[in-house]
Structure 1
């Protein structure tokens, strides 16, 4: 029954029109994924790597990897970014790879306030291994999955007898961010062109990837700055709201930073309680978070593990009139 559940999960959540994007818990450790307007917000070149294993107790559930590079470019008056994301579901039954290019225009509205306007274009490639799917006509009431299915591959499958099907499509996203020294907010809209993503023939018509909307707001409050204390302590409360095709997600929590160490606690409404720890040494950053599932999947899912690493490089040419955003790294 576990094999059947995985097949059903993959079909329902990733092949039909109710598909949702991969999710990362360490939002600001993967800034380009959160909002393309975040490109170049560090100023100097930056490399981010992210890994997420969601529901590891369910064999082959969801494993997502992401790598991104971004920097501010003086001549463009903004930031540029390249991001590659890969999501595997059901022991690689469904594989989704995305390559994105982003540009963010940095507008200094006043001495203390900056606006960022980002646009992103990407190519998506989805693969489906039909041989790993299971169907109702394979089940014997007593002996389980013993029969061959009569449900044959249909749709965008190769004609060489392979069980692999593939679908490629172009994607557009946009967003904006506003920030001052201690406050920031933003909004991002992904899949603006609602691309057709179906891997199999759909008798009900096209299966389009629905638009995804994300709003985020936060602050950074410092204590001990300019005092006799060696390390500055700061707290950073944040709220992030996401909507996609009827699915809503509300996250709110806070980070506490002391010197190079950061700890955070988040609550994802009706789904999970999230704990995170991290170290930010300036040129290198590492973070770990764990999602404690509180939904009906509590006993079966095993939660979610997420790792992030970041590398900040020196600039060959210092950005002109540039101020970094104060949002947390984890």
Structure 2
């Protein structure tokens, strides 16, 4: 009996690393640059006429078919009867591994924003359709192991019955947000719940998708008018799995005409004790209406030797159209 040890070893590595992915939704290390996937209440929460967001993530280049995620979002602030609202649309496309598992998500977002003195309260709702499919012929099953050759043979019957290769469902998400302006300190926090309708996600067997909870907190600290420090924490919990991301970005004004701001910072994914997953390096810049950011996840988990520290590469670009909102003005007039 002969075994292809390289294939078996790679399969074991991917299986172990997929444990957390199966239990969690699609996510970005640059969560701060993907507002509509972070919390529905962020919809339309910015100073501008409209905003276009693009995110790209490529993970695990050491395997034959890396995982790739593309996100495109659009949102705009609205006003109705003196109420500040927001509306947006989010599209996600994800392709995973040799099975060619494809996930497509299309969500519409709506949010309400209220200001009290120097504080802001946000509430948002997101509704959409999720479609998933995979190529069953690209997978191998125990029944397809050929004991004579020592290899898996896709031509053999896989022995599986009742399996479908497509599924889709309605998805509903809800989020709350809070911000405050204390001059040089601008704290913010968010709480979101995804899949609150607990949809049936299955390729042939009953499988209810549990609610995913997301908490994010941070602060924008204006150090001296030119440099800002923006520490932040993201915590997600889903189906018994959790993900903690903590770090800080330094944002600095640049005294050149071409670039307005540059920013750089480290983030860490894990719990600092038993689950050290990745160190994330973030760098970016702002030019007029554009914000561009790149990041890399360095694998520091127990699999770092097998992966050669390779994790994920991310790229994001956000375009914000400048606001043309007209504010009421008053002209002082002396009375005689």
Which of 28, 33, 37 is residue 29 of structure 1 equivalent to? 33
Query: Counterpart in 1 of 2:72?
Result: 67
Which residue of structure 1 lines up, in the alignment, with residue 222 of structure 2? Answer: 222
Write out aligned runs for 1:208-287 (5 A): 208-225=208-225, 232-259=226-253, 260-269=261-270, 270-287=276-293
- Give SS of 1:219's match: strand
Task: Tell me which of the two structures has the higher relative contact order, counting C-alpha pairs closer than 8 angstroms and 6 or more residues apart.
Answer: 1
The 8 Å contact of residues 19 and 209 in structure 1, kept in 2 or not, is answered as no
Q: Which residue of 1 aligns with 2:110?
A: 103
* 1:257, distance to aligned residue in structure 2 (A): 0.7
Does the CA-based 8 Å contact 1:39-1:71 persist in structure 2? yes
- How far apart, CA to CA, are the structure 2 residues paired with 1:13 and 1:52? 17
CA deviations over 1:210-256 (Å, ceiling 9, x no partner): 2110101101111222xxxxxx1011111111100110111111000
In the superposition, the TM-score normalised over structure 1's length comes to 0.84
**Structure 1 counterpart SS, 2:134:** strand
| 1:275 to partner: Cα distance | 0.5
Q: CA deviation at 1:91?
A: 4.1
Structure 2 residue aligned with 1:115: 121
- In structure 2, the CA distance between the partners of 1:304 and 1:318, relative to structure 1 (3 Å rule), is farther
1:47–1:318 Cα change, 3 Å: farther
Q: Supply the distance in 2 between the matched residues of 1:84 and 1:71 (Cα, whole angstroms).
A: 15
Q: What does residue 93 of structure 1 align with?
A: 100
Contact 2:143 2:159 in 1 (8 A): no
Structure 1 distance, partners of 2:12, 2:282, is 30
Deviation at 1:8, TM superposition (A): 5.4
Q: Structure 2 CA distance, aligned partners of 1:295 and 1:197?
A: 30
Q: Is the 8 A contact 2:180 2:187 kept in 1?
A: yes
3-state DSSP of counterpart to 1:23: coil
Q: Is residue 2:134 matched to residue 1:140?
A: no
Where do 5+ consecutive residues of structure 2 fail to align? 1-6, 254-260, 271-275, 329-336
Q: How does 1:151-190 map to 2 (within 5 A)?
A: 151=158, 154-155=161-162, 157=164, 165-181=165-181, 182-190=186-194
1:58 deviation in Å? 1.6
Does the 8 A contact of 1:10 with 1:89 survive in 2?
Answer: no
Aligned residues: 299
Q: TM-score, normalised by structure 2?
A: 0.83
